[in-house]
Chains A and B, each alone.
Chain A
């Protein structure tokens, strides 16, 4: 699903974000990316959605080298990747329904299907009653659920969650990750970049450790703190 071969990324000002990254994530994997701020977690996500292009190496997503992707190809790639952000990144002035409808329309979903599917998605994330509420009036946890409903609305093969619990209380955090775990059980590949030790330790999944733009560890059932072998 994801294959990075010696991938590096340097910002235009010469600052290095990622160095010689080698990584393989298979279909159906559930992976935590951990590491201090600036370690390169978000940069990996930006490379995966082609917001950035590797300055060296080969990055394959869904079996294809995405380096040459342009315009519509990038849009198609992103429709197949659901993204969840720490700051939710919702269309705040719009309703919950509108946010999900927009993503589905952008993903080319027919109107009939959108009308049928949005209530179902909102039920899944426990927001059925809030369909017509303006996003800006929701709590942080509710906004993140809208973000999740949006992320899965186009049935993506992969979910990227960048600090999804960063602004949430511990209880809501576990609920969010539980939701992602359930998606993963149905075959969706999930990558979560996080600082949340409690969450990582609770789920005991694959953990990739990053430091200064390099992978310094990769444990199949890891904890937040890396154990040096």
Chain B
């Protein structure tokens, strides 16, 4: 009951404490803000690297060439099997005429090389399916399976390139996650030590509170809330910076790096970073102050 009655007092005390120890609070907020900003930037880089890896992997597809001697019932059966295959997410039929047109477009100014093949009878290309899988990593396995289907003349998915791409993106993702983890641990240490220092400088205050008969929790609550406030203020600055900065970077990137896949779009990128950084800042603020205060309460 007395706790509930004291809640406004605790909240007021926590803010007063922050302002009373202005410089130290400012230093703590700055450390939290800078550390979390660095972490946020790194999280964004990791998110984008992962996103690009996914985009590139999603481009991987199996090209299934249809045997020109296949009967229409064999072709129908092939389509049915593709429909039923659990791991096939989509497929696209490309007729030999369409394939020729695409080739012409790709050759551009050298398209005249194909003159003479315009006649359907002279077209050397085959009808095909472009098959995509639910998970890009399933491509080699699915390719092996559908190669056995009727009416399939040949399968192509750039075997060596794909496998190298998959292992490269896997290594990159693991490396980024490891670096991000290391940075998060560093941030945790840095923030909790700064808050510890803040509490240590106020040990005399804690001792006096104990002498007048304050219970440990009566002392702890304002400090705990103050830690929360420090964490909260410390996350506001990086979040605002990220919110506006990311837009700028994204704009620049889209206009200067057209050959690259686009960046993770704004609300999602911001939400992902905020979901990690905001709770981290607050929890570290609370834990940092609660853990540090413990040893000064033994009076």
Report A's interface with B, CB cutoff 8 A.
Answer: 49, 51, 71-72, 75-80, 83, 89-91, 93-94, 102-103, 105-108, 110-111, 150, 154
The docked-state distance in angstroms from the alpha carbon of A108 to that of B212 is 11
Q: Which of B144-152, B203-211, B286-294 contacts A (4 or more CB under 8 A)?
A: B203-211
B260 in the interface (beta carbon within 8 A): no
Q: Is the CB of A102 within 8 A of B209?
A: yes
B216 in the interface (beta carbon within 8 A): yes
For B204, list chain A residues within 8 Å (CB).
Answer: 89
B208, B214, B218: the one contacting A89 at CB < 8 Å is B208
B6, B207, B211: the one contacting A105 at CB < 8 Å is B6
B2, B205, B209, B216: the one contacting A108 at CB < 8 Å is B2
B267 in the interface (beta carbon within 8 A): no
For A75, list chain B residues within 8 Å (CB).
Answer: 210, 213-216, 218
Q: Is the CB of A106 within 8 A of B208?
A: no
B244 in the interface (beta carbon within 8 A): no
For B275, list chain A residues within 8 Å (CB).
Answer: none
| Contacts across chains A and B counted by CB atoms under 8 Å | 53
Given contacts A75-B214, A80-B213, A90-B208, 15 further A-B contacts (CB under 8 A): A49-B211, A51-B299, A71-B216, A75-B216, A77-B213, A78-B210, A78-B211, A78-B213, A83-B212, A89-B208, A91-B205, A94-B20, A103-B213, A106-B212, A150-B212
Q: Is the CB of A83 within 8 A of B211?
A: yes
Q: Is the CB of A76 within 8 A of B213?
A: yes
A-B contact pairs, 29 of them (CB 8 A): A72-B215, A75-B210, A75-B216, A76-B213, A77-B213, A78-B210, A78-B212, A78-B213, A79-B212, A79-B213, A80-B213, A89-B207, A89-B211, A90-B208, A91-B205, A91-B208, A93-B20, A93-B21, A94-B20, A102-B209, A102-B212, A102-B214, A103-B212, A105-B6, A105-B9, A106-B212, A106-B214, A107-B212, A107-B213
The docked-state distance in angstroms from the alpha carbon of A77 to that of B211 is 10
Q: Is the CB of B216 within 8 A of A106?
A: no
In the assembled complex, the CB of B137 is this many whole angstroms from the nearest CB of chain A, namely: 57
B5 in the interface (beta carbon within 8 A): yes
A77, A93, A106: the one contacting B218 at CB < 8 Å is A106
